[in-house]
Amino acid sequence: MPEEKLPSRDENYSEWYNTIVQRAELADYAPVRGCMVVRPYGWALWENIQQALDRRFKATGHMNAAFPLLIPMSFLEKEKDHVEGFAPELAIVTIGGGEKLEEPLVVRPTSETIIGYMYSKWIKSYRDLPVLINQWGNVVRWEMRTRLFLRTLEFYWQEGHTAHATSHEAEEETLRMLGVYTDFAENDGAIPVIPGRKSETEKFAGAVNSYSIEAMMGDGRALQSGTSHFLGQNFAKAFDIQYLDNNNQLQHCWTTSWGLSTRFIGAIIMTHGDDQGLVLPPKLAPIQCIIIPIYKNDEEKSKVMSVVEQVAEELKDFRIKIDTREEVTPGFKFNDWEMRGVPLRIEIGPKDVEKDTVAFARRDMPGRAGKSFVPRVQLAAQVAEMLQSIQASLYEKALAFRNANTHSPENYTELAEVVEKGFAYTWWCGSLECETKVKEDTKATTRCIPLKLPDGEGKCIVCGKPARQKVYIGRAY
Ligand SMILES: [Zn+2]
């Protein structure tokens, strides 16, 4: 039985997204409203994201550790902005083992406080610095309006926390990790991103400066896809993270934190997906090649399957799967794996066996355009080349889409039009008043002030006063 058609991406983007997440078996709704169950296919995708990031974290000198899920409430209260920012989203434990607790415990919404507390015990001298630690885990933020992967009550992520001797080193680290996220998003996720600084209102609660990578989704809306924060000495002062410098003077450390979450899966779905379903970038896809044997009778089957086994052996260095299901037709299988976003389909039928060829069908080019028949020699090299080509073309397509939907409006009226379905890139005086006006009038928010700013100055798109910085503005998830 063929499944029902997916909702059209252009006509109902939101319905399209929700249907894909469930039908591709990435995630499901949990009994507690707003929570998410990540299913094996979705988790395999997350594991590939984890590995791609973890490799980069280790290469930049970080090590992983694990800190507790429960944090004393008083810890959060030590940093004023931090507790104010997170208070509405906290889940608080007041009873443990049947007894009312002396001090309520917070289920971590993020771990600056508990890690800061531990750093104050571990760091004594300048010789202990820098401390470069990452944690893979989950956090809870009591969100009211939730969406699988994009905004859930509990989500999975990594959070890096570092401590440094100087402001300069901590700022360098903040930007280094923003660079790591940019590299990962663009090279592994095939998602072009804009790295930049957040405005005062959009920054992390307790940070001096927040930076993010911002991506444009297939409906023109923005998705903040990773963040890196320069925390100054805010947490070091709140938690007495101090060290003796080489003159034997006691100094406060400078700290950073940075995170990327399962939200990135939402970014992949919404950047690359189409009316047939998911389109996964080969570098992160749980299955890179799906092999589909095609036969009508037992005689054909034995010939085809022996070639399929040889092909599978030749391609053992890739993430492959052979679809041996007997109860469904090849046509059903094609649709099914297209819906699940597998980058490359390899079909092998009796004619291919005779001619010593296989058929390739690339997911990023639906229909005939993406189909080719290749001789069965040096198959591994051909598959590698094809996957590279798919990876590159997904990035190019997403970049072309972003460019086509990013505009520099001439005036305020145009700004309001542009952000309906894309980004505005425009001069901004930096004032809260102008930022708030845009948000109230258009629902769009400042996304980030790009790291690479143009020279010179212009006029603020809202108030007309001189402006030295340009900002990306868009409606965000
Ligand atoms: Zn202004």
Q: How many Å lie between the centroid of ligand 1 and the Cα of residue 213?
A: 24
Quote the ligand 1 centre to 97 CA distance (angstroms).
Answer: 55
Q: How far, in Å, from the CA of 139 to the mean position of ligand 1?
A: 37
Å from CA of 196 to ligand 1 middle: 19
Using the mean position of ligand 1's atoms as its centre, give its distance from the Cα of residue 277 in Å: 42
Amino acid 25 reads E
CA of 460 to the centre of ligand 1 (A): 5
Q: From ligand 1's centre to the CA of 224, what distance in Å?
A: 24
Q: How far is the CA of 232 from the centre of ligand 1 (A)?
A: 27
pLDDT tens-digit series, residues 87-126: 899 999 999 999 999 999 999 999 999 999 999 999 999 9
For residue 215, how far is its CA from the centre of ligand 1 (angstroms)? 25
- According to the model, what pLDDT value does residue 81 have? 86
To the nearest whole number, what is the mean pLDDT of the chain? 96
427 CA from centroid of ligand 1 (Å): 8
What's the 431 CA to ligand 1 centre distance in angstroms? 6
- Determine the distance separating the centroid of ligand 1 and the alpha carbon of 454, expressed in angstroms: 18
What is the 435 CA–ligand 1 centroid distance (Å)?
A: 8
Distance 201 CA to ligand 1 centre (A): 15
Distance 225 CA to ligand 1 centre (A): 27
Report the predicted TM-score, pTM, of the whole model to 2 decimal places.
0.96
pLDDT above 60: residue 308: yes
Neighbours of ion ligand 1 (CB under 5 A): 429, 431, 434, 460, 462-463
Ligand 1 centroid – CA 302 distance (Å): 73
pLDDT for 387 equals 98
Say how many Å lie between the CA of residue 93 and the centre of ligand 1: 44
Average pLDDT of the segment spanning 186-201? 97
Distance 429 CA to ligand 1 centre (A): 4
Q: How far is the CA of 458 from the centre of ligand 1 (A)?
A: 11
Q: How confident is the model at residue 3 (pLDDT cuts 50, 70, 90)?
A: low
pLDDT in tens, 391-434: 999 999 999 999 999 999 999 999 999 999 999 999 999 999 99
Work out the average pLDDT over 48-74.
97
Whole-number percent of the chain with pLDDT over 90: 93
| Ligand 1 centroid, distance to 433 Cα (angstroms) | 7
85 Cα to the center of ligand 1, angstroms? 26
- Going from the Cα of 444 to the center of ligand 1, the distance in angstroms, rounded, reads 15
Cα of 437 vs centre of ligand 1, distance in Å, is: 10
Q: How far apart are the CA of 434 and the centre of ligand 1, in A? A: 5
The mean pLDDT value for 251-267 works out to: 98
62-66: long-range pairs with CB below 8 Å, 24+: 62/132, 62/133, 62/134, 62/160, 62/162, 63/132, 63/133, 63/134, 64/133, 64/134, 64/135, 64/136, 65/133, 65/134, 65/135, 66/135, 66/137
What distance in angstroms lies between residue 452's CA and the mean position of ligand 1's atoms? 21
Other CB atoms closer than 10 Å to residue 144's CB: what's the count?
Answer: 10
Provide mean pLDDT across the span 378-397: 98
CA of 470 to the centre of ligand 1 (A): 11
Confidence of residue 1 (pLDDT cuts 50, 70, 90): very low
Q: Ligand 1 mean position to 466 CA, how many Å?
A: 8
130 and 169 Cβ atoms separated by less than 8 Å: yes
> How large is the average pLDDT for residues 273-299?
97
User: Averaged over 332-358, what is the pLDDT?
Assistant: 97
Give the distance (Å) from ligand 1 centre to CA of residue 309: 65
